[in-house]
Structure 1
Amino acid sequence: MAEQTKLEEIESLQAIYGSDFQLTSDDSFTINVKSVNSTSDSNQDILEMQIMLPVDYPLHSPPTFCIKCALLSDTEQRELAELLNNSFNIGEVVIYQWVELAREYLDNKIVEQEKQKCTTTVLKDSNRTQFELDPSPLEVVASKEKTKELPLSSSPELSLSNAPALFHGEPLTDRKSTFQAHLAEVHSLDEVRLAVSKLKENRKIEVATHNILAYRFLRDGVQIQDCDDDGENAAGSRLLHLLQITDSQNVLVVVSRWYGGIQLGPDRFKHINNVARTLLQTSGLIVTQQQEDSKQRKTKNKDKRKRN
């Protein structure tokens, strides 16, 4: 029973964290935890969690782990380790909870550091004006520029006739819960609003238990991104993380879930990410490993023909 529980948890973690999850053996793995508040291109603010699952986990023993993060001091790493250890309950899987606790801890530390760095005195027209930047956790600026918030709409009225085209993935059903992904190409916050409004014209989608969404697009060199859990705690940030690790741009993804009365545990996050990833691949916005291998083979064959 414990072994089956571990296998199911590992499968869920692989689906949720994608390339940030690296299996090193049957019962050990590494997860790179990235802060949504980071504006750095370096790996300094990535927290690496090396985790090993004992034979009797989760029935009797917690996982063992090692934390590595250049951004955190030894004292802070010990503080985080204590938080993780205290959150384990015998008989319950805990890795997802640990990763999100670590991410929240890292987020808070980055915000604290950014606030300290961004309290800046500016001289302009011989007047000293002091201001403090409030870095948004969901709007990250490309090319290390400063965070800036954009108004949601400058139009007095938006017409659904101008809404972006919507694409729908295949539904996935598990234990009476159904998940379906929807996608639109977007280049502005107005287009995000229009696409969501258009999507919810469908009564079935509007009354879904949850409509989890995430979007990303570039505007004037600024990376605009945001997400909404719609009541499914942490699902929106996981969906946004999927867009980030696949480098998906100019896209809105919505995953509708119709709850069937049976709790799915971590499997629900696996299904949310899987239907979204499948639709992104089908639409051509992200490339699967098989597609990448095929592309490389075609390039090699083309080069051979040229040489011959």
Structure 2
Amino acid sequence: MSYINSSLPDTSDRMLFAVPKKGRLYDQCLSLLADIGISFNRKPRHDIALVSNLPIALVFLPASDIATYVARGNVDLGITGLDIIRESQAESEVAELTRLGFGRCKLQVQAPLASPYKTIEDLKGKRIVTSFVNLTIQKFKQIERTDEITTQVRFVSGSVEAACGLGLADGIVDLVESGDTMRAAGLHAIDTILETESVLITNLSPRFPKLAEIIRQRVEGILTARRYVLCQYNILRNGLERACGVAPGRQAPTVTSLEQQGWVAVSVMVEKRELAEKMDKLKEIGATDILVLEIANCRT
């Protein structure tokens, strides 16, 4: 007798792509999937959705499990946090395709502001509560310089920041994004274990390597488009070298001769965070008609 649930879609000929089913990465993952042209319809309470325009099945899993599933080959691709990969001890069993730039935060050792604990060394041998037990033990082993850890590390799955106030711990290890929750609990960071962000990963023997490469290229195209704008301007040819020094672009500017003798039109990719300063400098050296265009997508 077969116990396979016939209501689940057949995924035998599809690449399995795991994404967080909820939590801090969920909405940004959905936005990224839409931007890279992955179309799907997820039925209510279903954790598998077939992509309509590619041979892919999306599998919605807890972010904390995705690295393990990818490492074991249960799914082919996955998006999860770098902190989860390290905590799962899966970094040697997965390949990092690209970092995604969202979900950035820090895994930090924290202690009550009113406590005598001002450095991580002050917490050696004390009680630590965290949901990142492996990373925490590794960190304290480094500072204790002994094979037998004496710091008491206890696992909790949520509300870690309440542990000190409830008398369960002398310090905690938890993710910090803005720091508002930490400060509201009367805590302060005394050490950083890891700076983390979301990562696209694959297992070491992917079943669909060409398709995985296509997804990687699409993702990197979107990330580049989010980071850069296209700056266009006109300048006298004898000022072109100086202008290229100001805005060299990712590889090199595109230069086109104008009908007006001695003038050229230039198109160049510029990082958004540097745009205002570079426009000012281009204007100073004689550039005119400086325009900025958003980049919706690209391949680099």
**Into which bin does the TM-score normalised by the smaller protein fall?**
under 0.3
Q: TM-score, normalised by structure 2?
A: 0.22
Higher helix residue share: 1
Return the TM-score normalized by structure 1. 0.22
Larger relative contact order (C-alpha < 8 A, sep ≥ 6)? 2
Which one has a larger percent strand, Structure 1 or Structure 2?
Answer: 2
